[in-house]
Each structure stands twice: as C-alpha cells, then as structure tokens.
Amino acid sequence: MRLTYSAAVPDREPSRWSTLVLAVAGGALTWAAFPDLDWWGTAFLGVATLFLAFRRDSAWWNALVGLVWGLTFFAPHITWADFAVGRVPWLALSVFEACYVALLGAAWTWARRGNAVWRSAGLQLGVFVVLWVAVEELRMTWPFGGFPWGRLAFSQASSPLLGFAWVAGAPLVSAVVVAVGVLLAQVWTALRRGAFGAAGLRTAAAVVLVVAGTFVPLDTRAESGTLEVGAVQGNVPRPGLDAFSQRRQVLDNHIAGTLALLDRVAPGQLDLVVWPENGTDVDPQADAEAAQLIDDAARAVDAPLLVGTVEYPPTGGRYNTAVLWEPGRGVVATYSKQHPAPFAEYIPMRDFFRRFSSAVDLVTTDMVAGTEVGVVPVEVPRLERTVPLGDIICFEVGYDELARDAVRAGAEVLFVQTNNATFGYTAESTQQLAMSRLRAVELGRATVQISTVGVSAVIAPNGAVSQQTGLFTAEQLVATLPLRDSLTPAARLGGWPAWIADALALCVVVTGMAGARRIRRPDRPEGAR
C-alpha cells in the first residue's frame, strides 16, 4: 500500500541542480537580512529555500546543499575577515562555518526518515527548528570557543521578532525565524498540490509568529535611578591592521574627545565617561605619562573613566582589559576579557596553522582569558550608592552567557567596548550593533556600544537606537541611561533553551535513524527516502 505524504514536500524528489540553485539563492537571501542591507524579512525566504533544497533523501547530497548555502551566506557576511587578516583565513573560516550547515543537511535527512516525522508537516517544522538551533549553538561553542557570527537572531534587530529575545534570548529568535521560513516553504508546496486550505493556515501561522513579537512587553523605565554617561569615540590615524601603530596618537585622540565633552556638559555633570576597547594601548598602570594624561582628563570632567587598555602580566601573555579610573585615585576596578578571539587575539595550535598562513604571526603575544564576570562597580555620589556596570568587550557581545552572567550578577546597565579599526569600512561594526541591540532587549538593560572608530550607539532596553555615530569619525555621545535591576525571563532561563534544543536534536536524529530501519524503503514517500 502506498502511503500518502503530507503537504510538506512534493511527490517527487527535485533535480540535483535545482537544489543547488535553491541553496545559492537561499544563502544570498539570508545574507541580505543582516546589516548593512538589513532586509530582515529575507531571512525567512533564505530558510524557506534551504528547506526546499533539502528535499532529496540523501544525507550526503543534502550535506553538499548545506555547504553551498553556507558558503553563499558566510563568505559575504564575514568579508571583514578578508580586510582584517587576509584572503586565506577569510575563506578558511567561511568554509568551516559552512560545514555546520552541511551537518544540518545530513542531520535533517536522518531525522525526517522516522515514521512520525515524514508523515507530519507539523513535526517536520518542529524538528527542523530544533536542529537549526542546536547547530547554531554547536557553532557558537566549538571549536576554540566557537564563532557566533551569522546566527539568525542577529538579523532581526530591526524586526518585530526582536521582542522574542526578552522571552528566551537569541535561541528563541532564531527558532521563530526558522519556523516562519519552514511555514513559507510548506505554503509553497501546498499551493503546488492545490491544497489551498493548508496553504492558508500556514500563511496565517507565519503572520501570527511575525506579529506576535510586537506584543512582548518591553519596559524601558528606570527602576533604580539613572546614570549620566559620556562616551568617547576618538578615531585612529588610519584603518587596518596598523591602526594602532601610533598608540600615543590614539590615546591623545581619546583624551581630546573626553575634553570635548565639556562643550556639552559641565564638570561633575557626568557620572561616568566610557572609552572603547583599545582606547589606549599604552597601559596607564605601567606608563606614568599615560597615567597622568588620563588622570588629568578625568579631573577635567570630574568623573571616573572606564578605559579600554591592555595589561602584560609577569606570567606572560596579555590581557584585554577595561580599567575604572577615578580622578586622583587611579585604577579602582578592572575587567579582563573572558573570551579572546581565536586567530585574532591568540593563535591556537600556532605551528600547525602556520603551514597554511603566515598571518598567524601577526599576533605576536597571545591574549590570556580573564576569569571574572564582567561587572565593574562605580560609585555614583549623586545616587548615594555604587552602581554595578555590565562590561562586554568586542566579540563577547555575540556570546549569550557573558552578558547574561553580568546581569545576573547585578549589572544595571551594559557597555560594549569595542575596537573596529581593523575592519575598515565593512559591515562588521553594524553587525555588532545588531548584537548589542538584541542583548539590550534580551536582558532589559540600556546599552552603550562604544567603538574606537564607530559605529557607536546608545540603545534603549527595547532595542531602539537613540544616538549613533559614523565610521572613522571622532565623536562623543552624552546620554541619560535608565538603571534597571529586574531580570527578564531570558535572563532567568539562562542557558536552558539552548540545552533543551541540543538534547531534542540528538533525540530526533537518533530516533529518525532508528525509525527508518523499520520502514521498507519503497514504502517511504518521495522526498523522504
């Protein structure tokens, strides 16, 4: 007896060439959803075309389809890596990240072979969503601490779906994007079969998912006072890898930017002034002249400075550090980056990777990971209390647990200190801004992204950008930030959504592989064999 398949896939497998064409189109559409284009709706279409491209029942072929989709997406998405470290590392990273989409293709093929899944369009939707989120989580953690760029959640900073970050963070936002994409693919196949009722229901479900994010309550009110903040984007002499060859000039630029704040505020009016990552690559704890310049600037504005700098411990290596400098007192608190970027700030397996690119030797001193949660306490006399600041340095904004740990440890506001000078006029800065906007919503905290060269911005707890600078300009921001101490559902849930997705993904793949063994291959519908 021939079993009737659901409206999820067509009766016959598509040709191999058509699946490759869909893969290329899907990768390009997904790339367009991210900054700088920021056409967030194309992410749904990118997922839909990939789902349709995976209709053949060959794990190896679907792995190839996933690889093609991944290359088409990642290569243009991270072109900033080409600018920063060269063609070979950029291509190698693009291929490696595309391999995760290849893994998704194989896992999906195995999972849907189970009896229940290939019979049900609804189960196919759920299983595909779970697999996608699990693969994103794997990509974000392995190897060498993972690479978070390209998560679908980061394409939705300007979309109604951003509200879902408040509920369960980036994993839920990515899941909803994938769900809408799969529904659109199922609408297409239902229409081809003439199943107009099913197509209408799935269209309605997709619309409901997109609109539902606007009903999430995003509170922006101050709960524990406000913080008066100035942020300094000092700029660098020139973009590229040699941007900090003139370290003294970069320090002078940020000193000048700090003094320029006095054109807008009176001394003592600000509670804090924030510099970016690498605001001074001259360590003020080791260089008396740099210390004097910073202290003079702090005295002039009569406010503590949160300064991005470097430290060279006697045990070797270096720390990427933020120091809180109080006028007349010097350093009173520090935070060191917990998640240095592999191949940019340190080189794992240096001898091995040198065989492929001499660029590994551009990193002459490996960065050491900090061990403390990113909370910096600052005394605010106006509030008559100490305010815990959440500090995130550069790429750390892409990793869920780092900002979340800071908020759960008491941070009432977030600062993302970053240095984008090495990425030139690429989309890296605006991609990072999208991540900062998601963190603001996810954790219910006002957020300031401050960069050496831009893009810097002030972000409300609902993700709205109230101020934004340009690229490679010297600018200052002044803002009144609401301090908040309540925890969002996402902050309370912690890593559980991702862990659940991981466990479910493993279960559905194993179950699908086992279930397929009990079904005669001729009895499987076309597209699920």
Residues assigned a catalytic role: 277, 337, 394
Task: Report how far apart, in Å, the C-alpha atoms of 141 and of each of 20, 104, 339, 340, 421 are.
Answer: 29, 16, 11, 13, 26
Distance CA 159, CA 155 (A): 8
Q: What SS3 class is residue 465?
A: strand
| Cα dihedral 157, 163, 168, 170 in deg (nearest 10) | -10
Residue 101 gets the label, from left (phi > 0), alpha (psi -120 to 50) or beta, of: alpha
470 Cβ partners below 8 Å, 6+ apart? 454, 455
Distance CA 256, CA 372 (A): 31
| Cα dihedral 465, 497, 62, 187 in deg (nearest 10) | -70
Parallel, antiparallel, or unpaired for β 375-380 and 385-393? antiparallel
Parallel, antiparallel, or unpaired for β 475-482 and 465-468? unpaired
Write out the two tokens for 426.
Answer: 């690429």
Task: Report how far apart, in Å, the C-alpha atoms of 502 and of each of 115, 320, 496 are.
Answer: 21, 32, 10
Which residue shows structure tokens 């869920």? 400
Query: Which strands, in side-by-side order, build the sheet including 457-459?
Result: 375-380, 385-393, 413-418, 447-451, 457-459, 465-468
363 Cβ partners below 8 Å, 6+ apart? 343, 344, 345, 346, 347
Residue 289 gets the label, from left (phi > 0), alpha (psi -120 to 50) or beta, of: alpha
Parallel, antiparallel, or unpaired for β 226-233 and 385-393? unpaired
319 Cβ partners below 8 Å, 6+ apart? 310, 311, 312, 313, 336, 337, 367, 368, 370
